[in-house]
Amino acid sequence: AAAKRKRDVPAARPKKRAKKAPSAPGLEAKSSPDGAAPEEYSIPPPVSQGKWKNKERVLIFSSRGINFRTRHLMQDLRTLMPHSKADTKMDRKDQLAVINEVCEMKNCNKCIFFEAKKKQDLYMWFSNTPQGPSAKFLVQNVHTLAELKMTGNCLRGSRPLLSFDPIFDKEPHYALLKELFIQIFSTPQYHPKSQPFVDHVFTFTVTDERIWFRNYQIIEEDASLVEIGPRFVLNLIKIFQGSFGGPTLYENPHYQSPNTHRRLLRLSVAAKLREKQQVKEVQKIKKTGSTVLIGEDPTEVVFKTPAEEKPVEIQLVKPEVKPIVKDKKKLRKIQRKKQKKLFRTEA
C-alpha cells in the first residue's frame, strides 16, 4: 500500500543501488562493517590529475608571396606541434608590429612567422609576444616531409624530446635561443590535442655558425634513431629585445645577406671570363714574339740572274673599250660579228 504523504513535507526518495562491477584482478571490493556482501568497487586514482597548466600556444603563419616549399614546411610544423594555431597570410605592406595584435586576438603567446622576399629568400621569426625577445633567421636547405622519402614515422600529436648542442650552454646568445626554442617547440604536458607518448626527438645542432634542425624517431627495439623530417638550416641574423623589433641584443658578424652572396657569385663568374680573355691575349703576344727575325744572307743573290730589261713602250692610241656584257651568249655574238667584218675587209 502506498504510504500517505504528510503535508508540506517532501517524500524521501529511495536510494539507488550501486551497480556491481565485474570482478577483475587487482580490484578489491569494499566490505560493509557488518560483514555483509560488498556493494561498491573502488578504482585507484591516476598518478597525476592531468591538469593542463603550461598553456603555451604558438601561432604559425606567413606573409604573402611564399612558394610551395615554404607552405609545406609551415604545414609540417603545424602537424608536429599540436599546441599551434594557424591564421591567414599577412599582407606585405603591413608592419611586423601588427603580428602582436594578431597573436593577442588568437590568444597565443608565441609566434613563428615566415617572411618571404623576392620570391626566393625565406626569413623565419621566432618571437615571445608581446614582451619579447625575438630572433630573425635566414632559412636555407629546406626539405619537407613529403619531399624526403624516409622510413621514420611518429604518432600524430605526440610530445617530442628536445636535444641541444653543448654550444648552447656556453655562449649567452645561444642560451637565449635555447630557452626560446624550448618554450616554442616543446608540447605542453596534458595538452588536449597531444598524446601521452614520447616517440621522437627534435635536435638543434650548431655547425658552421648555423643551427641545423632535424627530427628523429625513437625505435623501441634498440633505441636507435631514424630521421622523419622536415629538415632546415637557420642562419641567425639578429636578436631583438622586443617582439618583432626593439633594441638589438645580438648581431651575427658571420651573416652574409643573399643579395651580397648572389652579387659575389656574379662577380666571380665575370672575373673568370676576364681571366680567360687575358690568357688568350698573352698567348697571342707570345706567338708573335716567338718568331725570330733572321738577317739577310748575302750569298742568296749569287745564283740569281737579272731579268732582261724591256724597252718602255708608250701607248699613244687610246685602247678600245671592251663592252661589259653580263650574258656570255651576247659576248660571243659580238665577237663573231667582229670576226666577220675582218674577213670582209681582207677579202
Query: Does 16 have pLDDT greater than 70?
Result: no
Give residue 105's pLDDT band: very low, low, confident or very high (50, 70, 90). Answer: very high
For 50-59, 82-91, 224-233, which range has the lowest pLDDT when averaged over its residues? 50-59
Residues 216 and 231 sit within 8 Å (Cβ to Cβ): no
CATH number at residue 62: 3.40.50
Answer whether 137's CB lies under 8 Å from 124's CB.
yes
pLDDT computed for residue 221 by the predictor: 74
Query: What average pLDDT does the chain have?
Result: 83
- List, in order, residues 6 or more apart from 267 with CB less than 8 Å away: none
pLDDT tens figures, 111-162: 999 999 988 899 999 999 889 899 999 999 999 988 877 778 888 889 999 9
Q: Identify the pLDDT of residue 194.
A: 87
Q: Is 273 part of a structural domain of the chain? A: no
Cα–Cα separations (whole angstroms), residue 73 to 30, 148, 207, 228: 56, 12, 22, 13
Residue 54 is predicted with a pLDDT of: 83
Which residue's entry shows cell 643573399?
258
Span 59-86, average pLDDT = 93
Task: Let me know if residue 328 belongs to a domain.
Answer: no
> For residue 129, is it within any domain?
yes
Q: Is 212 inside a domain boundary?
A: no
- Please tell me the distance from the alpha carbon of residue 184 to that of residue 187, in angstroms, as a whole number: 8
pLDDT digits (tens, 9 = 90+) for 293-336: 677 888 888 888 888 888 888 888 888 877 665 676 777 888 88
pLDDT score recorded for residue 22: 47
Counting residues of the chain whose pLDDT is more than 90, the rounded percentage is: 50
The per-residue pLDDT for 164 is 96
**Residue 34 covered by a domain:** no
Q: Which of 82-91, 207-216, 285-294 has the lowest mean pLDDT?
A: 285-294
pLDDT at 309: 83
pLDDT score, position 160: 93
Q: Is 3 within a domain?
A: no
Triad 74, 180, 195: Cα angle to 5°? 60
* Residue 127 placed within a domain: yes
Q: How far apart are CA 333 and CA 281, in angstroms?
A: 58
3-state secondary structure of 10: coil
pLDDT at residue 10 in the model: 53
Q: Check pLDDT > 90 for residue 40.
A: no
What band does 31 get if pLDDT is binned at 50, 70 and 90?
very low
Q: In this structure, is residue 106 part of a structural domain? A: yes
- pTM for the predicted model, two decimal places: 0.66
* pLDDT given at position 108: 94
Q: Of residues 322 and 182, which shows the higher confidence score? A: 182
Domain of 95, in residue numbers? 58-150+164-186+232-260
Spatial separation of the C-alpha atoms in residues 71 and 86, rounded to whole Å: 12
Residue 44, pLDDT score: 61
pLDDT at 177 over 80: yes
Count structural domains, the chain.
1
CA angle (210 as vertex; 179, 185 as ends), nearest 5:
35
